[in-house]
Amino acid sequence: MRRSWIAAALVASVSVVLIAADLSQADAKKLQNPVPFTRRTIDQGYATFQQYCTGCHGKDGKADMAIVPATDLTAPKLYKSGTTDGEIFRSIRDGAGDQMPPFKYQGLSETEIWQLVSFIHSLWPEAMRPPLLPNESKSGKRM
């Protein structure tokens, strides 16, 4: 009896995990990556990318396997849904176009998504990347 109560409580607590509402593009543009652009956060984003994203975007983000029309993430000028921090965050969290799935339903935390944004920046031509901060810089929280 007690055991089924615990099970019921567990089910209830899992089902109340809040899924954030979709961001509008205008609201997304106002967001800034709260995660500093450091070697450490890029590596964390890289690990998540290898786990969730390579099937469509390829190991290097270039998406040249032509299975789905995924964006070449190394070329910001090819992006269809915006290249600001917040717009990239929105593409990952809420989905993009017809075939980019929203990752908010797949258990990725917002921090993990921001780390992905940092990793994606690291794929860009050097002149377009944010300045790389030291892992323990004052301007960024230690992640």
Distance CA 92, CA 80 (A): 13
> Candidates 11-19, 22-30, 73-81, 132-140 — which segment interacts with ligand HEC by CB under 6 A?
73-81
**Cβ distance to ligand HEC smaller for residue 2 or 77:** 77
Does 134 engage in binding with ligand HEC (CB under 6 A)? no
Contact 119, 45 (CB under 8 A): yes
Maximum C-alpha span of the chain: 63
Does 56 engage in binding with ligand HEC (CB under 6 A)? yes
List the one residue from 28, 35, 96, 123 that touches ligand HEC (CB under 6 A). Answer: 96
Does 35 engage in binding with ligand HEC (CB under 6 A)? no
List the one residue from 35, 42, 88, 123 that touches ligand HEC (CB under 6 A). Answer: 88
Distance CA 24, CA 68 (A): 25
Distance CA 83, CA 117 (A): 10
Does 3 engage in binding with ligand HEC (CB under 6 A)? no
List the one residue from 20, 50, 60, 101 that touches ligand HEC (CB under 6 A). Answer: 101
Does 53 engage in binding with ligand HEC (CB under 6 A)? yes
Residues that bind ligand HEC (CB under 6 A): 49, 52-53, 55-57, 68-71, 79-81, 88, 91-92, 96-97, 99-101, 103, 116
